[in-house]
Amino acid sequence: MLATCRDLPDLDAEGQGLVRALRGRGADARPAVWDDGGEDWAAADLVVVRSTWDYVPRRADLLAWAERVAAVTALENPPDLLRWSTDKTYLEDLRAAGLPVVPSALLAPGDGEEHPFLDREHVVKPTVSAGSKDTLRLGAEEAERSRAHVRAIHASGRTALVQPYLAGVDDHGETAVVLLDGRLSHAARKGPLLRRSADLVDGLFAPEEITAREPSAAEADVARRALEVVRARTGATPLYARVDLLPSPDGPLLLELELAEPSLFLEVAPGATEALATAVLARAASPGG
C-alpha cells in the first residue's frame, strides 16, 4: 500500500506512476488514506508513506498511526525516521554532526519573538510544516510582521524556525538531491518559491517549478554525508531521502532533509520511477532490509 491523504485519495501524479510501475511487475499496489480507520494495514507486505501531506496540524496522529502500522507490517520510512524528520529541529542534530546547515534560530513557545535575523531579509516558518505552509519571506523593514508570525506559530503550540534568506537561490534555485535505497539517484532544480512579503500559502502546498539538474560534486557530497548521519542514528538505510540544498559563497548549505513524505521528482529522471519500484519490491520481500 502507498499511504496518502484524503485530499489526494488516488495519490499525486508521481505516486500514480509508482503504482503503475509496481503493478507492471505483478505487485498488488494501491493507494490507501492513512487516517482511514477501515484500512487493514496488516494485509500489506509493505506500507510506503507517500503523499500524507495533511499531517501538519496533527503530527501526533500521524506518528501514532505509523507506530500502529509498523507493529503489524513493514513501514517505509519507519516511525523513528518519521518522528525525527517531521520536526525541523533535526537541523541542529545535523549541524552538530558537522554538516553545513543554513544558519538557523529556533524559538520555542515561551522564548519570545526576538531573533538575530530581524535586520536582514529572512524566512520564518514552524519547525513542523510541509509544502511551504505557514512560511513567510520577510524583509528587514517587516520586523513587526516577523515578530507577529513567530507569535502566531507559538500560539499554535509549535516552535518557530528563522533563517536568513540566501539571495543566491533567486538565480540558482534549490538543488534537491534524491537518494533511493541509500544510493544517489538524481537531482532536480527547484525554482525560487517564496515571494517577499507574500501571503501565506493556501492549500496543501505551494506549486513548484521543477527541472532536472546534475548535482555538483559538493552537493552530492553533502547529500551522502546527511544520509550517513541518518544511518548512524538508526542503523538502517531509508527507502527514500531528499536533501534540499541552497547555494552560498562557501558552498552548498543544507536546508532540509526530507524522510517522511517528500515529492521525489521522479518525472525529471528517466528510470527513477522504476528504480524506486525495484527498491520497494526489495523491501517488501525483505522487511527491514
Q: How far is residue 95's CA from residue 236's CA, in Å, rounded to a whole number? A: 20
**Residue among 59, 137, 158, 213 flagged as catalytic:** 213
Q: In the numeric block, which cell numbers belong to residue 82?
A: 518519521
**Residue among 113, 174, 256, 258 flagged as catalytic:** 258
Smallest CA-to-CA distance from 102 within 215, 257, 228 is with: 257
Is 231 an annotated catalytic residue? Answer: no
Cβ(237)–Cβ(281) under 8 Å? no
**Residue among 50, 59, 137, 242 flagged as catalytic:** 242
Is 213 an annotated catalytic residue? Answer: yes
Is 189 an annotated catalytic residue? Answer: no
Catalytic residues: 213, 242, 258
